[in-house]
């Protein structure tokens, strides 16, 4: 029986940088526990010699010709944000000096 604690729910939410209300934390604690419990049935399958499938295609790295060509116009790319300055996206401070 998988049962997540409130602290685990808060830890996952922090990894995902997702603000949750107390009500959401409690609801997700129950629902995620039930889903993970359901997923437990996979443990009964022997997969010791089975390789994982991340993608069904054999394609690995695809190269294209390295040719200079125009990208999308700057104004268009900035049209969907309020957070801009001097033709660039303005972001919050990441590194303090």
Residues 6+ apart with CB under 8 A from 37: 1, 2
The footprint of another protein on residues 43-72 (CB under 8 A) is: 43, 45, 47, 50-57, 59, 61-62, 64, 72
Assigned token pair, 39: 């997923």
7 part of the interface to another protein, by CB under 8 A: no
Closest by CA to 9, choosing from 35, 30, 37, is 30
Q: In the chain, which ranges are E strands?
A: 84-85, 88-89
Establish if 17 lies at the interface with another protein (CB under 8 A): yes
Q: Could you say which of 66, 86, 92, 97 contacts another protein (CB under 8 A)? A: 92
* Binding residue for another protein, selected from 3, 5, 7, 77, defined by CB under 8 A: 77
The answer to whether the CB of 6 falls within 8 A of the CB of 32 is no
| Tokens 């049935």, located at residue | 41
Residue ranges in 28-47 that form contacts with another protein under rule CB under 8 A: 28, 31-32, 34-36, 38-39, 41-43, 45, 47
Q: Does 80 bind another protein (CB under 8 A)?
A: yes
């Amino acid at each position: 029986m998988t049962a997540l604690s409130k602290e685990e729910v808060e830890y996952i939410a922090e990894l995902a940088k997702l603000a949750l209300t107390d009500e959401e934390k409690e609801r997700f604690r129950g629902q995620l526990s039930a889903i993970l419990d359901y997923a437990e049935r996979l443990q009964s399958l022997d997969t010791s010699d089975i390789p994982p499938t991340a993608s069904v295609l054999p394609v690995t790295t695809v190269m294209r010709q390295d040719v200079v060509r125009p990208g999308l116009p700057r104004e268009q790319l900035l049209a969907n944000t309020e957070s801009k300055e001097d033709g660039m996206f303005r972001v919050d401070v990441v590194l303090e000096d």
